[in-house]
Structure 1
Amino acid sequence: MLASVLWILMMGFFVGQLARRLGAPPLIGMILVGIILGPQVRNVISQDVLGAADELRTLAVMIILMKAGLGLDWEKLAQQGTVALRLGFLPATTEAIAIAIASMLIFHLNFPTALLLGCVIGAESPAVIVPGMLRLKSLGWGVTKGIPDAILTGSALSDVLLLLVFSLLLSFLSDGGIEQISLPGGFTLTALQLLPLQIIMQILLGVLFGYLAARLLVLLLTKQNWTQNAVQDTVIAAGLALLLVIVAHTVPYFSGYLAAMAMGFFLIELDAPLARRLRVGFDSLWIVAEIFLFVLLGATIQLQVLEKILLPGILILAIGLFIGRMVGWYLSTLGSNWNWRERLFLLPGNSAKATVQAAIGAIPLSQGIAGGEIILAIAALSILITAPLGAWATMTFAPKLLTKGEVDPTKVTVAARTLLLAAVDTSMATEILTKVADLARRSNGEVIVLHVINTSNQQAVEQINEQAKRLLADIRYEFLTTTGAVPEEIIRIAQEHYATAIVMGKRGHQPWEQVLIGSVSQAVLETSPIPVILLENREPKSV
């Protein structure tokens, strides 16, 4: 089992990075690794790991939905009105119906079985869509009109709808009829008649439990201070989100995934600093979870079942996407402020299939439902085609179809590189290098050590270089020398290398210089567009 985990992590990571360097999404490499390591080819992954694949997928989806919730913007969602709500129901419904009709004609399935196939294929993949939309938010594409937020919310709601209909149809096909439910007062309703109420209850209770969980998390982590660092915050938040998902499996009256996403969303409103810390923590968790998710996804794909239905399967997927889902997209954005380019972006941004298909694609076959092998094969085909294509097309077509807006740093993870420029001479080199080393360690940053040469004193240059080697031994740094006017050169080098701050000393020790900073320092302070940190007697002064 440990050897299997090692294979998954190492091969999944490096082949994923190889795919990224070749210009493809890393998940393509991870899925290929899963196919090769899985029982279809090399059979390297142990049965214990394959047996736990559903649980590991559940954990990974919980992590990605928490990331989605921590990145949602309430103002943008409110601005969109009912677009996000319609995106949650109409595209999935119209795609499921189109696939059902096409599969009845092509495979001669009966309507309940054909609609069961439509529910499996119509569900959207949070594992592909969420990272793509969060990436767009961090780059600013479509954020002005809240397009990534609407897609994120709609994909979560659509999975609630289709999973409920899937369960209802599965029960009908297994038992041979629709269950009758007796209500107080002598009323009798079928499960189909109760479906709208179930959908509303799943959504409302999911949002409610997500809100209560967020309040509990703020109480424990902020008010009561039960944790001491961001890692502990992340562990507690992930545990609480996973508890919501587990309870929802046992007591299926609310959507656990929606509750996890809602918890992240409400954390932004209740405690923005805590949400920012958790966003960084869940980004780290997703790095590992993503590898397990897509490698195990590839391992569960059954290649032999694809041979007979390859061409008709592609035809059904195309009908569902280009006819069914596009009708739903048009109806969802009707009356909105989206232009035709933004509506067209839904084609790559809102059509990927992966996690839901892997989780439920094999269930009809395992329960002996006629046509189950066809459902499994088309589910596997949808993963192989739409997951990598959707991930690639999202980032490729976003700059062509969406408008770039201002990024809200409170709603996304800002992954800016910290680069400190230490402007030194022989007078305060030790103090400046000591301080810049401390700042770089705290921010995991890099350093440029700059010495502007006024005279050809090679001994001074060597002395500063030796001090830098000793004081910055555990920090990535670059030592530069240049000639010219000192203030201009400091600012020029800082701008050329995109430094985040300049650290320099305040010259002189006469009493009058406590008021007059010094010509070089004063010139840099007055003209630098980059923040400057001045040091005097080892005490920093930020300006």
Structure 2
Amino acid sequence: MTNLHTVVKRGSKVQVGQEEKEITVLPRSKTDLAAAAEMKMAALESSSCCSSCISLKDRCPRPQGLFSLLITKVCLFALLFGVVWSITGSECLPGGNLFGLVILFICSVLGGKLVGMIQLPTLPPFPPLLGMLLAGLVLRNVPYITDAVFIDTHWSAALRNIALSIILTRAGLGLDPSALSRLKAVCLRLAIGPCVVEASIVAVVSHFLLGLPWDWGFILGFVLAAVSPAVVVPSMLLLQREGYGVEKGIPTLLMAAGSFDDILAITGFSTCLGIAFSTGSTWMNILKGLLEVVGGVIAGLVLGLFLCCFPSKDQEELVLRRTLMLLGLSIFSVFFSHVIGFAGAGGLCTLVLAFLAALGWKTDKAPVAAMVGQSWDVFQPLLFGLIGAEITISTLSPNTVGLGLACISIGLVIRLLVTFGLVHFGGFNLKEKLFIAVAWLPKATVQAAIGSKALDMAREKGDDAMIKFGLDVLTLAVLAILTTAPIGALGIGLAGPRLLARQVKDETEGGATNPSSIGIGREKDNVNLETKL
């Protein structure tokens, strides 16, 4: 007979066979009772603890949403600062280069955001680069902040050269070979004529008013002669979206000619820069300038062909590798040209290699151009902030500022008249020609990119006279940005709706379809079907 261990209560009944018998359970020992009491107390304590924890969790929930995001970003920034500080030491403290760059970048971004928020009805938004430039100018000229936000000239020059490489890369990628092949004569005249004439006029005026040598006068002339795509392109896109000037292709004409205008100005600037910093006779300097142009083009062709083949299409992350190769070769070309003494060749090499690489990639260049644009979003605040930080208001001579504004004004008036005359035979009416002339005035991006390059080279050479000339060129470049960028943006926004004809889209394009067109389409389909049969 098997032993059955059964736990029963006192006074319970158990049925054995057909009979019910009452079983009396003897009380357990004291040790068992103590153990049971302890277990019961433990269970009560655990249940009370769990309930208190649950109520505490309900009363104090975990941080989420914006507060959690803010705490996370603050911790990440603190960790990043701690790591960099442990490596660089005083460089990331007030007065160090890293600290100055971070503060300058943040202030430039905020300044660009604030200026971009200034938007008047029926007007294009103000270019954010104005806020970036003013942020650097303020940081440089506020007494106590100037000492804390310090950036070494070598660091500043290197970052500006990187930004210049990115600008030239974007310009090379933006050239459309099909547009080049069918470019009209008016577009060529608009791209070449005003740039060359303004550069020559500014060179002559600056030679007699500011006392610049002829080579430095032409350096200043080509710096000021370039039109700004950062102002013209957004304004043209806004007018094109509203239908102004679309019928005669005025926005497309200005955007296409603007790219060639910038390339011509950069090419002329690079050539004159090579001549100005050459030693020897005048003919040798001219020959060296020509060698820089030819050498830059040849090097760009070789590197561009290399990028057409490498990296190959079967590699992973092709867009990222192409972008890194393109930017790496562009930045290397600009810096290496300084090392070998042919400073003007680097910019041309970058333009040519980017254009040839885009020509080989064909339709695959779009994602590469987008990624290069993202890198420009990072270096644009640094470029304009550093340009503004180069100007010390206390050291500026009122005579230099006044004569510089006179040079800029004379060049702009001549440019306005020349532009108006060159588009005279382009099939435009009087109002359209006046608008094209006004739209060809603003300056910003190219002036910021190349305006300080001559000053950087003069500092490397250690020539006090050249440093003074370089400061004059940079000062006039900043004055041109501050005066022409807002005036040009406002002029385009005000003159566009008043001087250009508006092309209204047909209601049938995006909405209801004409019933007669449906019937005609069906008749054509029936005729085609009968012909095939």
TM-score, with length taken from structure 2: 0.61
- 1:463-474 equivalences under 5 Å are none
State the AA in 1 paired with 2:352: A
Contact 2:100 2:151 (8 Å CA) reproduced: no
Decide whether aligned partners of structure 1 residues 39 and 349 sit closer, same or farther in structure 2, where only a CA change above 3 A counts. closer
State the AA in 1 paired with 2:479: L
1:152 maps to 2:259? yes
The structural deviation recorded for 1:259 is 2.8
The structural deviation recorded for 1:33 is 1.4
What CA deviation, in whole Å up to 9, does each residue of 1:347-378 have, x standing for no partner? 325687333222224766852338x6476246
What CA deviation, in whole Å up to 9, does each residue of 1:448-474 have, x standing for no partner? xxxxxxxxxxxxxxxxxxxxxxxxxxx
* Cα distance in structure 2, aligned partners of 1:394 and 1:255: 33
What CA deviation, in whole Å up to 9, does each residue of 1:149-194 have, x standing for no partner? 22212212222223322442454xxx6xx517xxxxxxxx5434x3
Pairing partner for 1:65 from 159, 168, 186: 168
Alignment correspondent of 1:116:
216
Alignment correspondent of 2:406:
315
Kindly indicate which of the two structures has a greater share of residues assigned to helix: 2
The structural deviation recorded for 1:342 is 5.7
Pairing partner for 1:220 from 310, 315, 334: 310
Pairing partner for 2:111 from 11, 15, 25: 15
The structural deviation recorded for 1:315 is 1.3
Decide whether aligned partners of structure 1 residues 74 and 38 sit closer, same or farther in structure 2, where only a CA change above 3 A counts. same
Decide whether aligned partners of structure 1 residues 148 and 345 sit closer, same or farther in structure 2, where only a CA change above 3 A counts. farther
* Cα distance in structure 1, aligned partners of 2:491 and 2:267: 29
1:376 maps to 2:376? no
1:29 maps to 2:120? no
Alignment correspondent of 1:299:
389
Alignment correspondent of 1:236:
325
Alignment correspondent of 1:99:
202
Q: For residue 221 of structure 1, give the secondary structure of its aligned residue in structure 2.
A: coil
Contact 2:168 2:350 (8 Å CA) reproduced: yes
Decide whether aligned partners of structure 1 residues 351 and 94 sit closer, same or farther in structure 2, where only a CA change above 3 A counts. farther
The number of aligned residues is 384
Q: For residue 464 of structure 2, give the secondary structure of its aligned residue in structure 1.
A: coil
- 1:145-224 equivalences under 5 Å are 146-171=253-278, 179=281, 189-192=283-286, 194=287, 198-199=289-290, 202-203=292-293, 205-224=295-314
State the AA in 2 paired with 1:75: S
Contact 1:160 1:255 (8 Å CA) reproduced: no
The structural deviation recorded for 1:263 is 3.0
What CA deviation, in whole Å up to 9, does each residue of 1:317-355 have, x standing for no partner? 1112212x3465467657556661464145325687333
State the AA in 1 paired with 2:355: F
State the AA in 1 paired with 2:337: A
Kindly indicate which of the two structures has a greater share of residues assigned to strand: 1
The structural deviation recorded for 1:292 is 0.5
What CA RMSD, in Å, does the superposition of the two structures yield over aligned residues? 3.9
The farther-off stretch of 66-75 and 52-61 is 66-75
TM-score, with length taken from structure 1: 0.60
Contact 2:136 2:386 (8 Å CA) reproduced: yes
Decide whether aligned partners of structure 1 residues 45 and 328 sit closer, same or farther in structure 2, where only a CA change above 3 A counts. farther
Decide whether aligned partners of structure 1 residues 51 and 364 sit closer, same or farther in structure 2, where only a CA change above 3 A counts. closer
Contact 2:127 2:231 (8 Å CA) reproduced: no
Pairing partner for 2:371 from 273, 276, 281: 281
Alignment correspondent of 1:453:
none
Alignment correspondent of 2:523:
none
Percent identity, aligned pairs only? 19
Q: For residue 80 of structure 1, give the secondary structure of its aligned residue in structure 2.
A: coil
What CA deviation, in whole Å up to 9, does each residue of 1:210-269 have, x standing for no partner? 3433332232234351x4264443222211222222333334287322332333333343
1:367 maps to 2:460? no
Alignment correspondent of 1:340:
433
State the AA in 1 paired with 2:267: V
Alignment correspondent of 2:336:
247
Q: For residue 266 of structure 1, give the secondary structure of its aligned residue in structure 2.
A: helix
Contact 2:203 2:220 (8 Å CA) reproduced: no
Contact 2:236 2:251 (8 Å CA) reproduced: no
Larger Rg: 2
